[in-house]
């Protein structure tokens, strides 16, 4: 039986879309606490899911459900349109469950992420940051992968140009170009970072260089350690021999 409209999947095609999720928090300015904040609350915070460089992602993301700690009234907050975020006040850190619901055309099941809400500065300079009451940002870059999307969703993902045909040829560089030429939507991230957006191809390349350099260092360390071990084993054998302790060798 032929597949019903909208359920035919594009075999062998994967489409990924980048996004950012995380939180921002700041202690109240003692001079002007938010007027309705309960006595024991100390911080204002915001948890969010957004596009890299604030790109619109609502063409694939329909709604987001944030599950807060149960000390919050109505701890399950559903946000049906962008910005997909919840702003709150509180006193403690906790794990926030973030459930992503995709547009109906996708026929995809929701996906769940977890985010640790951070209220207090962490890492190097934490104390100084606390002193300055700096905004505490904790966020992650993530990619959602749609494997073998249904045709209708593929169209939406790649620009809603109405073309039902996936790019011809093998997936990879070429198909990416075709999608771009259509003036369609892509998973491109900006070339350079900006004060508002740390995720870029330049930062990605820098990170890759850093990883390659680290790998080289580890290789070098391993080589040195192995050389030391060989040297010590040799020395041990020599000592045993000079002390008359039989050196264990393979039986002939």
Query: Which residues are paired to 118 by β-bridges?
Result: none
Residue 27 CB, shortest distance to ligand SLL, in Å, is 13
Give whichever of 72 and 101 is closer to ligand SLL, judged by the CB atom. Answer: 72
Q: In this structure, what are the phi and psi dihedrals at residue 178, rounded to the nearest 5 degrees?
A: -60, -45
Give whichever of 116 and 230 is closer to ligand SLL, judged by the CB atom. Answer: 116
Residue 128 CB, shortest distance to ligand SLL, in Å, is 23
Give whichever of 93 and 108 is closer to ligand SLL, judged by the CB atom. Answer: 93
x/- site string to ligand SLL, residues 91 to 120, per CB under 6 A? xxxx--------------------------
Task: Report if residue 59 touches ligand SLL, rule: CB under 6 A.
Answer: no
Which residue blocks in the chain are alpha helix, DSSP H?
126-131, 151-157, 173-181, 201-243
Task: Report if residue 71 touches ligand SLL, rule: CB under 6 A.
Answer: yes
Residue 69 CB, shortest distance to ligand SLL, in Å, is 4
Q: How far is CA 104 from the centre of its chain?
A: 24
Q: Which of residues 181-200 bind ligand SLL (CB under 6 A)?
A: none
Task: Report if residue 151 touches ligand SLL, rule: CB under 6 A.
Answer: no
Task: Report if residue 90 touches ligand SLL, rule: CB under 6 A.
Answer: yes
Q: Which of 66, 76, 72, 75 is nearest to 101 (CA)?
A: 66
Report the alpha-carbon angle 94-67-91, nearest 5. Answer: 35
Backbone region of residue 81 per phi and psi (left: phi > 0; alpha: psi in -120 to 50; beta: other values): beta
Kindly tell me which residue out of 33, 46, 67, 69 binds ligand SLL, with binding defined by CB under 6 A: 69
What is the C-alpha to C-alpha distance for residues 98 and 114, in angstroms, rounded to an integer?
A: 6
Q: Cite the beta strand spans of the chain per DSSP E.
A: 14-27, 43-50, 61-67, 76-79, 84-90, 95-102, 111-116, 136-147
Residue 123 CB, shortest distance to ligand SLL, in Å, is 19
Residue 112 CB, shortest distance to ligand SLL, in Å, is 20
What is the C-alpha to C-alpha distance for residues 155 and 161, in angstroms, rounded to an integer?
A: 7
- In the complex, the residues that contact ligand SLL under the rule CB under 6 A are 38, 69, 71-72, 90-94
């Amino acid at each position: 039986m032929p597949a019903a409209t909208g359920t035919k999947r594009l075999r062998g095609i994967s489409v990924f879309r980048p996004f950012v999720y995380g939180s921002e928090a700041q202690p109240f300015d003692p001079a002007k606490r938010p007027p309705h904040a309960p006595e024991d609350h100390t911080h204002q915070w915001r948890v969010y899911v957004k596009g890299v460089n604030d790109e619109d992602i609502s063409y694939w993301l329909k709604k987001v459900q944030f599950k807060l700690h149960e000390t919050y009234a109505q701890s399950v907050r559903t946000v049906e349109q962008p910005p997909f975020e919840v702003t709150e006040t509180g006193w403690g850190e906790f794990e926030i469950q973030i459930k992503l619901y995709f547009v109906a055309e996708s026929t995809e099941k929701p996906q769940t992420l977890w985010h640790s809400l951070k209220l207090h500065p962490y890492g190097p300079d934490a104390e100084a940051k606390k002193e300055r009451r700096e905004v505490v940002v904790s966020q992650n870059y993530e990619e959602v992968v749609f494997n073998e999307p249904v045709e209708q969703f593929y169209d939406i993902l790649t620009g809603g140009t109405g073309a039902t045909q996936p790019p011809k040829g093998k997936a990879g560089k070429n198909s990416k170009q075709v999608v771009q030429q259509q003036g369609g939507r892509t998973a491109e991230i900006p070339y350079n970072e900006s004060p508002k957006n740390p995720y870029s191809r330049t930062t990605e390349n820098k990170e890759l260089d850093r990883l390659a350099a680290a790998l080289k260092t580890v290789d070098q360390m391993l080589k040195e350690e192995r050389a030391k071990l060989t040297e010590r084993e040799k020395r041990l054998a020599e000592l045993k021999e000079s002390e008359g302790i039989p050196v264990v060798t393979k039986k002939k």
